[in-house]
A and B are shown apart, each in its own frame.
Chain A
Amino acid sequence: MSLLVAQDLGIAFGGVVAVDGVSFSAAPGQVLSIIGPNGAGKTTLFNLVSGLYRARRGRVTLNGEDVTGAQPQVLAAKGLSRTFQNLQVFGRMTACENVMAGRHLRERRSLAADLFRLPAVRRQNRETRAAAEELLAFVRLGERGDTPAGALPYGALKRLEIARALAPEPKALLLDEPAAGCNAVETTEIDRLIRAVADRGVAVVLVEHDMKLVMKISDRILVLDGGRPLAEGTPAEVRANPDVIRAYLGPQHGREAAHA
């Protein structure tokens, strides 16, 4: 049973067709990876699915409900969350506050109660903080909670984004190059995180360039090229697909990739 389904999505910027007839479906507890060279349209696809861009064609359904064209905050309320390739942390807030902000939808919200800081608000604040600290510990940032996010190193920010994206307790999670710019140790860490998230029953859609990570962690892989779907299948199927080898790595690398 698929949780998040994209059907025949398409968008163009001026003359450039960035995404052209792409479909995928993500199931709970599974990792679907989307790979393809730079400019293939992976981030644009995420922007379409998460409601930041309006698709020119196609449909998105979440939990069986048509959510095409819905605003990001509406999608968030229905259980969709994501991270960003180009970091979008709340730089002036502490690491803990970043994750607390991610709990927004899980909180009772009343301007009057907040202004007077009623006992219920204080109690809820403690709960939100506790939940955020648990997530920070999960991404191994437990010691950095009080550090302003703007002062954290790059690798930590990548994990902070994952913690914040998990804070609303999403059913589907889009991760845009979570391991980019991370060293080997950090990449292993992110591998562990993704697996753990999927094991909790979240449908994970992963965009990633690190092929070792992708091949190891994915249940299925979708390959994009020039905005179009090129191939889809299990890691073994995709690795053996001659079209993929040719387009993704260039014909001269074909043999090595086939054995990678």
Chain B
Amino acid sequence: MQMRAVLASRFFSLFVLAAMIGLLPLAFPSGYYFRVAALVWISALAAIGLNILMGQAGQVSLGHAGFFGIGAYAVAIGPAHLGVPPWAALVLGAALSGILALVIGKPVLRLRGHYLAIATLGLGVLVAIVLTNESRWTGGPDGMPVQRLVLFGWRVAGAETWYWVSGAVLLLGTWLALNLTDTPTGRALRALHDSEVAARVVGIDVAAYKLRAFVIAAVYASVAGSLLALMNSFITPDQAGFLHSVELVTMVVVGGLGSVLGAIVGAAVLVTLPQLLTVFREYEHLVLGLLIMLFMIFLREGIVPSLRAIFAARLRTRAAG
């Protein structure tokens, strides 16, 4: 197979990710790193889902943390108030997020561009307000504790365990997302992204496919939210808030719209940079903002697609020379 074909194949992406998850711990100087890396895997899961909506279908959601919050509070409220075991609460939360996305997506996805952005923003804000105000169920702005996940008698606890669990779920999520790209569904999403009229004329039900992408993205975010809540054993409404929504969108765009690996790299950048930038103390956020701007100016297509293009150009000149 040609080098370029190898780079583009989904097995390559999956292999790189699996190798990274497997080998990274060899370089960890302390247990703290397991926790940071697990945070990356969980954010990456949400980003991969959002990338299906934004990168493939080209539809923005500025309220995606709302679904993250639903997943997180499902595993908090389910066991605490309803006696549902945590794993079942995770599944129920994902189903609830999917159904909500289906119901809300129908009218909202008729909107385009800025209007869609504002409408989804409203959805996210709405979820965050409900989670903050229904304090009898959610503990209000202070948040609430989350029971430990127990699977077949195995108590899932500790940073290292969560590193492997979240890494495995990320691999599964990546596999599904990579699968989708080169199928009727994936092609329909990418087609409507480039031209809605042309997509309709070849028989693609544009509204239905946008809705599917929205539901998929909501389910990914919800599962990610559940995992975070279970790992942290605690959850606050901030996780459903506007800033977190913006963070998720930034991960997808910085990593590279449309690229599954890009979403993971974007999540890694957005999660680890603030940890690295603590040396700047009160200027931390300033430097973070500056770096994101520089990324966008110099790697406009996103980190992964830009690097791929540079690498492919190198290969070409070497083949020619």
Contacts and interface: CB of A to CB of B under 8 A. Distances in A.
A258 interface: no
Contacts of B201: 50, 52, 72-73, 76, 81-82, 88, 165
Interface of B: 176, 179-180, 182-188, 190-191, 193-195, 197-206, 212, 258
A90 B190 contact: yes
Contact of A71 (B182, B195, B200, B212): B200
A257 interface: no
Given A114-B184, A114-B185, A117-B179, A88 B204 contact: no
A41 interface: no
A168 interface: yes
Interface in A151-179: 164-165, 167-168
A91 interface: yes
A131 to B, nearest CB: 13
A89 B185 CA distance: 18
B78 to A, nearest CB: 25
Instruction: Among B183, B194, B204, B258, find the residue whose CB has the most chain A CB atoms closer than 10 A.
Output: B183
B202 A102 contact: yes
B287 to A, nearest CB: 33
A105 B203 contact: yes
Contacts of A124: 184
Given A73-B203, A81-B202, A92-B193, A101 B187 contact: yes
A231 B161 CA distance: 79
A3 B58 CA distance: 37
Nearest to B10: A117
Interface string A74-109: 001100011010001111110001101110110111
A128 B200 CA distance: 19
Instruction: Among A71, A102, A104, find the residue whose CB has the most chain B CB atoms closer than 10 A.
Output: A104
A167 B202 contact: yes
Interface of A: 50-52, 71-73, 76-77, 81-82, 84, 88-93, 97-98, 100-102, 104-105, 107-109, 111, 113-117, 121, 124-125, 128, 164-165, 167-168
B179 A90 contact: no
B197 A76 contact: no
A71 B205 CA distance: 9
Given A101-B190, A114-B186, A165-B202, 8 more contacts: A73-B200, A77-B203, A88-B197, A98-B191, A101-B199, A104-B184, A117-B179, A164-B198
A115 B52 CA distance: 12
List the 6 shortest-distance A-B pairs measured between CB atoms, nearest first: A76-B203, A114-B183, A88-B198, A105-B203, A117-B179, A90-B194
Nearest to A76: B203
Contacts of B258: 92
Contacts of A108: 184
Instruction: Among B179, B188, B198, B205, find the residue whose CB has the most chain A CB atoms closer than 10 A.
Output: B198
A111 B204 contact: no
25 contacts: A52-B200, A52-B201, A72-B201, A73-B200, A73-B201, A88-B195, A89-B198, A90-B195, A93-B191, A97-B190, A100-B187, A101-B190, A101-B204, A104-B187, A104-B188, A107-B184, A109-B184, A109-B185, A109-B188, A114-B185, A116-B179, A121-B184, A164-B198, A164-B202, A167-B202
Given A115-B176, A116-B179, A104 B190 contact: no
A84 B203 contact: no
A168 B180 contact: no
A73 B183 contact: no
Contacts of B212: 111
B197 A121 contact: no
B261 to A, nearest CB: 17
B185 A105 contact: no
Contacts of B188: 101, 104, 109
A108 B180 CA distance: 14
Contacts of A90: 190-191, 193-195, 198-199
